[in-house]
Structure 1
Amino acid sequence: MRIFLLGIFSLVLLPSLSVYGQQTKTLNAERISTPPKIDGVLDDAVWKSLATYDDFNMFEPGNVGTIDEDQRTEIKMAYDDNAVYIAAYLFDPDPESIPSQFSQRDQVFAQADHFVVALNTYNDGINETRFYVTSAGTIGDQRITQNNRDFGFNVVFECKVSRDDKGWYAEYRIPYNALRFPEVTVQDWSVNFYRRLVKKNETHTWNFIERGVGRDTQYNGTVTGVRDIDPPVRLTLFPFAQTSTNFFDGNNETNFAGGLDIKYGLTDSFTLDAQLIPDFGQVAFDNVELNLGPFEQTFGENRAFFTEGIDLFNKGRIFFSRRIGGAPSNSPELLSTEEVITSPSTVKLANSVKISGRTKGGLGIGFLNSIGQETFATIENTITTEVNGTTVIEKTRRDEVIEPLTNYNVFVLDQQFNQNSSVSLINTNVTRSGSKFRNANVTGGVFDLADKGNNFRASGRAIFSNVREAGETTSGFLSEFDFRKIKGNWRYRFGHDFADTKLNINDLGLNFRNNFNNFAVGGSYELIQPRGKFNRYRFDLTVRHRRLYEPSIKTRNSIRFDSFFSTTERLAFGIDMSLNGKEQDYFEPRVDGRFVTFESNLGSSGFISTDFRKKFAFDLRGSIRSWFGNQDQFNHSINFSPRYRFSDKLLVILSSNYSSRKDNFGWVDNTDTEVFLGLRDVKSLENRINVNYNFDPYKALNLSLRNFWAVSDHSSNIYYLLNNDGSRSQIDNYDTTVQRDPNANFNIWNLDVSYRWRFAPGSEASLLYRHQISNFDEQSTLDYGQSLGNLFDEPLNHTLSLRVTYFIDYNNVKGIFKKTA
């Protein structure tokens, strides 16, 4: 807490300077009575009567240079009680050559020009909603907050484009149910407009943005004239229906599901999102790998409810949404004669609700609640008895609760100020029904503060965890503090991270390690404005000192150098180097108080990425690392990802990644008193194919294939006993028939073929075929071809599903309800 207060105090003393290098522009939005037809053709009478705003500025690759008159941009803006309307005139001397690669919603960084409306309805320099459209007609939306840029934020708005011999045009209708704003008579909004020209590798902005100083959201122009808005009821419904058929190992199962997502504007600033009868049957496959480490394997969130508008709940980084509806928290207790017949891998959700918004004074409030259903494992007991010389086998089954009815809750308060700073309070709570199950509560205080001139920034968090289990409560603590210079070519930073031995946020969060007391210091030089052949380059040096909190022991020192270069021809490349000192690893043994000593090591990696504007391009990355002392381990990896754009509709991306860790050693088994280590060669190969065919911005066919193979080979038959001083002694009596066999061969194959059609704004139909097959065994000496052959001897899981989601705006159907009443 002392560190938390120090961070706040240090920012109070920093100088207050203006961030703006030029005068802020002003745009007057005009109220209209007859809205334009949204077709991309700007021939409506309303557009002819409105004022024009132009005079754009250079932003990327730098602020230097002037914009050609024949590539000027003009803007017009209007509003009524239903929506905001924007027209963009994007002139170009050669319209036929404008890059226009087709893509689907939110894929706005394809090889196509794009235009962006960046609207801040609070004019606070932080919270902003961006509405994109590409020259091919693809739309996208993005929510910008203090430290997050979220394309998972999806609202329903309209934008159409057209083209003629003078350039291309964009016409927007942004309804108020896509925005949040204070309930005041006169609105205080701000806006900026961005135009990206792919051929010239340039981005222009309406209001000037000084590169390298502050955030781009702090440079918006002022919007005047918006007043007396009487918006309609903000209630939208997303009913969905889904049917799926699954074929596996001779069995066929067909399911039907339906549900409803609701968005309701409690006020003009706060929105309720609810999900009734959730169904996640079409979420993407997780990228499962062979996990040899001491920590759980985790995956990103694929469920739309937990990715859309979730930025407020991520304050403090103590909320990990995959815990909701994740694996049950308990395993069944078995007798020696019992075995588990069925055990669900995930918990079904009854419903989920979230409320979020921000007041006129900049206070953000968020509330999220989900209820997990009671989950059972089925256990079979086999009892064998002798009756009159005859063996009688009796089988009985019982159900055991492995996850009770569970409530997951997140509550957030986030006060923003000064156009670049905030302090936040967040609490997560997991309450499980029944005294035998554990409950958890975590509270965090977070700050992110900068001076008005955006010269320096201090940030940090203080986390308190409480876990109650078996009638006892265990409390833990974590703190982080970082201070950095954020302006100019030369920058520096330093930080401190601390956690005691009792910290545990993993019931609704994600934290692999506790018991640390770490320090870091670093500096960097960055080219902000283009120079010569380079648009940008950066050099970064970081030194870290890691130690335990209890006992206070150094665990590792390290130094790392990173570099990045980007040329005027859109070629990017870089090289990294790092030197790690001898490490005392207290996690690898899986036993409290024990540690493994790993020798010092030196490694380097590099990458090159070619110009994606060309039909053929590729990414190439490689790395090597070697260990010193008495450890002969040598790691290397290479990743090659070529892509070819056959046309504006068809794009094929391949990727192959090979990794090898030779003479690696690590944990294989342990008893209460002994820890066994083994020498192994670890190899992995991952191949991916992604084929996208876009019929237009609304319909697409996608094929995605992933095959991952990995082996951990202990055929050298060299095993060690871990000594108390972290060293290891070779042993000859490790018996894999008695103790755990550490040899591993893992192979998994996933294939998705999907057709998606956005047949109306906010409405979508998706037809998905997928199959999956996986295999895990101890045949670690197999090569890739042999392992793949064995993989296809396993039963294949086929799934065919159809899902239809329809968008309903209450204001378009309220007449039906009135007639019914």
Structure 2
Amino acid sequence: MRNPLFVSLSAACAVLAAPCAQAVEIDGRIDPQEWSQAQHIEDFRLTQPLSREAASQPTQAWMMATPEGLAIAFRNQQPAGVPRLRQHTERDGDGTVDRVNLYVDFDGDGRMGYNFTVTLANSITDATITSENQFNNDWDGDWRHATSEDEEGWSAEMLIPWHIAPMRKADGGNRTLGIQLDRVIASTGERTSWPAVHYTQARYLSAFNRVQMPAYGQTLLAITPYVVGVQDAVKHKGDFDGGLDLFWKPSGKFQLSATLNPDFGQVESDELTVNFSATETFFSDKRPFFTENQSFFDVPFGSYSSNSRLIYTRRVGGGRDDGKGSGDVTAALKLNGSAAGFNYGLFAASEGEDIGRDFYAARVTRDFARFGLGAMVTQVDRPFLDRQANVYEFDQRWTPNPQWSIRGAVVASDVEQAGRSFRDSGGQVRIDYDMGKGWRQQLYGLHLGKDLMLNDFGYLERNNFNYLRYDLGRRVTDLPADSAYSSHDWHYAVSRRYSDDGVHIADAVSINRRSDLRNGGREFLEAALWGSGHDDLVTRGNGVLRVPAKLFLTYEGLRPRQGDNPWSLYTEAGYSADGLGGVDEGRLRVYLEPNYQFSDRMLLFAGVEYSHSPDWLLWRQGNRVASFRSDLLSLNAGLQWFIDDKQELRLRLESIGVDARARQAYRVASDGRALAVAEEIPDFRVRNLGFQVRYRYELAPLSYLYVAYVRGGEMFEEGMQHDGVGRQFRDAFDLRDSEQLLVKLSYRFEI
């Protein structure tokens, strides 16, 4: 297979009288004359399964630079015998649909990329890519797209404006981009790509083909004012507010984003959760200013998961330091640019009122052919707490060859509060090695000092922690033709966890398998066993608890709709034995989400979860913990109706009921033993409700009218009453802490 790493468009364009500068009409119909000067690509190879063999259905693509932006076209052969799935989805929505993807790294250095997806129904998704393969779809860009179809297949066209992202200054009139193109056939699950790399590989973003093309520049000044009115039927009062976002790009190497009184995302609701653990729940951010060009500041640190990071934008405007509601963001500013071979970014945000916090960040990076360096400084001033928190970070990445990838970071925090100082540090390293023939290895090490404090601005699940994990993976793609599976991705891992105080938390082994099915479905299985150890978080600093061995079993599966069958089914099931009762007393959890597709524009879904735990261990003040026999019943249902290409109606209903009955109270002894005590622990019940009906009309790109009805509430009760989880679930529908009618109008003016 021949897959050139470097493709030159400028050389081809130089021969022509008008070098790749002609305009393209983005109508979904590929006009041969419009695309005559474009680079033509046919060498698409299977990457799902990752066999790199020729695809079952041919795909062709064209790409070229135009003054208006990067133009891409796909021609996808798909005869009648291969079902076409053209369900409409909301922006950044998930679904088993036919689609094409453009992945582009505008600087060609493997540091940051963008993903643009167009489905057969002309729905779109856009996302940023950092740390090789970490996707974040909070960001929404302004770009053009269109699709069309005929008997032989379907076509898609995209135009990505040059002002959509900051870019370094072009060298000699040419720009080198990193590009990958791919196509997904939903009914078979096949993904074909150019070049043949998959986003689950350790080296993904840096493995894109390097494409040289003529450099064009664009300037843009966009102002998006918004107004929102809210009437609350419970509090019997109304509110009216407004603000604006500003985006200015005077040149390719400089961008400025600013906001006054930013919208806190009233029309985007967070998922309901029940969290009694010592770890904070992570929520994504949908506020336009806080997602625009934010990927430059996304520095993952502190966990094997992708949530931990040094800047967690939900801190800005989050819960006030006096505990009275949320902070009021007065203004925020963000600069992104490049100079003298360096990329830089500056971030500043201020909350109103005397107790409001001020947030600052500065980041700089420098990239070479196989090596990259980065550094960041953040500061948060919290006058109500008499606290100032500074964090310093340095990161590096090294990819000496296609087999090896080494990434590391060191972090230090310096916190002053009420005359006291807290200083500590941490570090992490991730080493990936592709051994070939489907085998790969990863070694991950993490150190978090006891007094390392990142959560004034960042998100860190915990500190005082050391973690070492070795993972051996094997991808299997040569399965028999009559197998229901097209590929398996196996992982075998061992790990050790201990605190910086020397407390042994746990040693663990795990095995998991991620599979793709030939009908477009997917499946995930995992078994993990933790040896006996200690829990140093559950008592919130009031002792370290000895815990027995833990067992975790997980299953996830998607059964997509087939042919004319309108039903699909997503399933999760799990067994979690992580209490004091050992592996025999674990929590059973089942989640079923059937989906019914009335038409390509209307979808109904209803996810139901039930879990039972005979040994739910919770903290109950001081050094006291208690086990509960608990049941949880929840519903996550909704309706999506895409009335036409401009109008969308969405209904969303979430309800949770929890019934927990106390079994036994314990005191944690100085040696870590859980000593049973005859202390009365009350039962408790939890009810949560979230309901929204939302209408959205797209006035223009990134300009919307929203009308939403929102109702919700939560209830926590203690006592000896035993009503059962069914009663708690039913009573949740009576909750009415708030009932609001919201109207929001935002319009983007481009100058």
Quote the Cα distance in structure 1 between the aligned partners of 2:228 and 2:184: 39
Change in 2 beyond 3 A, CA 1:293/1:168 = closer
Report deviation, 1:786.
2.5
Which string of whole-angstrom CA distances, capped at 9 and with x for unpartnered residues, describes residues 309-350 of structure 1?
A: 32221214222212111112245xxxxxxxxxxxx3111100
Please state if 1:218 is matched with 2:207: yes
Report deviation, 1:189.
2.9
Report deviation, 1:21.
5.4
Which consecutive segments of 4 or more residues in structure 1 shift more than 6 A?
A: 627-630
1:664-813 alignment, distance < 5 Å: 664-670=616-622, 675-714=623-662, 716=663, 718-732=664-678, 734=679, 742-779=682-719, 781-792=722-733, 794-810=735-751
Which string of whole-angstrom CA distances, capped at 9 and with x for unpartnered residues, describes residues 416-458 of structure 1?
A: 3336x53221211101347x611111111222322222x1222
Report deviation, 1:778.
0.9
Partner of residue 44, structure 2:
57
Whether the 8 Å CA contact 1:95–1:163 is kept in 2: the answer is: no
Q: Which amino acid aligns with 1:142?
A: A
Please state if 1:659 is matched with 2:611: yes
Partner of residue 305, structure 2:
none
What's the secondary structure of 2:426's corresponding residue? Answer: strand
Whether the 8 Å CA contact 1:104–1:699 is kept in 2: the answer is: no
Partner of residue 310, structure 2:
318
Please state if 1:236 is matched with 2:215: no
Please state if 1:647 is matched with 2:599: yes
1:524-603 alignment, distance < 5 Å: 524-527=473-476, 532=481, 533=483, 534-550=485-501, 552-592=502-542, 594-603=543-552
Equivalent position to 1:181, from 164, 167, 173: 167
Quote the Cα distance in structure 2 between the aligned partners of 1:487 and 1:430: 44
Equivalent position to 1:142, from 115, 120, 127: 127
Change in 2 beyond 3 A, CA 1:449/1:94 = same
Quote the Cα distance in structure 2 between the aligned partners of 1:650 and 1:601: 43
Whether the 8 Å CA contact 1:136–1:697 is kept in 2: the answer is: no
Root-mean-square deviation (CA), in Å?
A: 3.1
Moved more, 199-208 or 695-704: 199-208
Quote the Cα distance in structure 1 between the aligned partners of 2:59 and 2:579: 60
Which string of whole-angstrom CA distances, capped at 9 and with x for unpartnered residues, describes residues 172-231 of structure 1?
A: 43333224333345122334433333345333345555896842652325233x15x4x4
Equivalent position to 1:153, from 133, 139, 147: 139
Q: Which amino acid aligns with 2:750?
A: D
Please state if 1:431 is matched with 2:381: yes
Change in 2 beyond 3 A, CA 1:439/1:754 = same
What's the secondary structure of 1:346's corresponding residue? Answer: coil
Quote the Cα distance in structure 2 between the aligned partners of 1:360 and 1:180: 15
Quote the Cα distance in structure 2 between the aligned partners of 1:254 and 1:85: 47
Quote the Cα distance in structure 2 between the aligned partners of 1:573 and 1:164: 33
Quote the Cα distance in structure 1 between the aligned partners of 2:478 and 2:379: 47
Whether the 8 Å CA contact 2:689–2:733 is kept in 1: the answer is: no
Equivalent position to 1:621, from 572, 589, 613: 572
Whether the 8 Å CA contact 1:71–1:93 is kept in 2: the answer is: no
Quote the Cα distance in structure 2 between the aligned partners of 1:627 and 1:252: 46
Equivalent position to 2:27, from 35, 39, 60: 39
Q: Which amino acid aligns with 2:113?
A: E
Whether the 8 Å CA contact 1:95–1:168 is kept in 2: the answer is: no
Quote the Cα distance in structure 1 between the aligned partners of 2:684 and 2:743: 37
Moved more, 777-786 or 523-532: 523-532
Change in 2 beyond 3 A, CA 1:415/1:743 = farther
Quote the Cα distance in structure 2 between the aligned partners of 1:291 and 1:649: 35
Which string of whole-angstrom CA distances, capped at 9 and with x for unpartnered residues, describes residues 27-77 of structure 1?
A: 34554676344433455x951754561423223334554457x84525253
Whether the 8 Å CA contact 2:108–2:176 is kept in 1: the answer is: yes
Partner of residue 304, structure 2:
none
Whether the 8 Å CA contact 1:105–1:697 is kept in 2: the answer is: no
Change in 2 beyond 3 A, CA 1:482/1:155 = closer
What's the secondary structure of 2:244's corresponding residue? Answer: strand
Q: Which amino acid aligns with 2:320?
A: P
Which string of whole-angstrom CA distances, capped at 9 and with x for unpartnered residues, describes residues 234-256 of structure 1?
A: 211112222221111xx322222
Please state if 1:365 is matched with 2:344: yes
Equivalent position to 2:291, from 307, 316, 321: 307
Change in 2 beyond 3 A, CA 1:666/1:138 = closer
Partner of residue 408, structure 2:
460
1:464-475 alignment, distance < 5 Å: 464-475=412-423
Moved more, 258-267 or 351-360: 351-360
Whether the 8 Å CA contact 1:60–1:201 is kept in 2: the answer is: no
Whether the 8 Å CA contact 2:102–2:115 is kept in 1: the answer is: yes
Q: Which amino acid aligns with 2:119?
A: T
Unaligned runs of 5+ in 1: 1-18, 332-343, 376-403, 736-740, 811-821
Quote the Cα distance in structure 1 between the aligned partners of 2:434 and 2:595: 36
Report deviation, 1:749.
0.7
Please state if 1:351 is matched with 2:338: no
Whether the 8 Å CA contact 1:22–1:208 is kept in 2: the answer is: no
Quote the Cα distance in structure 2 between the aligned partners of 1:411 and 1:213: 28
Question: Larger Cα Rg: Structure 1 or Structure 2?
Answer: 1
Change in 2 beyond 3 A, CA 1:786/1:541 = same
Partner of residue 192, structure 2:
204
Unaligned runs of 5+ in 2: 302-308
Change in 2 beyond 3 A, CA 1:451/1:696 = farther
Partner of residue 517, structure 1:
466
Quote the Cα distance in structure 2 between the aligned partners of 1:468 and 1:520: 34
TM-score normalised by L of structure 2: 0.88
Partner of residue 286, structure 1:
270
Quote the Cα distance in structure 2 between the aligned partners of 1:33 and 1:679: 69
Quote the Cα distance in structure 1 between the aligned partners of 2:158 and 2:473: 42
TM-score normalised by L of structure 1: 0.81
Change in 2 beyond 3 A, CA 1:287/1:711 = farther
Quote the Cα distance in structure 1 between the aligned partners of 2:612 and 2:401: 49
Q: Which amino acid aligns with 2:23?
A: P
Which string of whole-angstrom CA distances, capped at 9 and with x for unpartnered residues, describes residues 232-290 of structure 1?
A: 53211112222221111xx3222222211111114312211111121225243333433
Q: Which amino acid aligns with 1:466?
A: D
Change in 2 beyond 3 A, CA 1:723/1:529 = same
Q: Which amino acid aligns with 2:409?
A: R
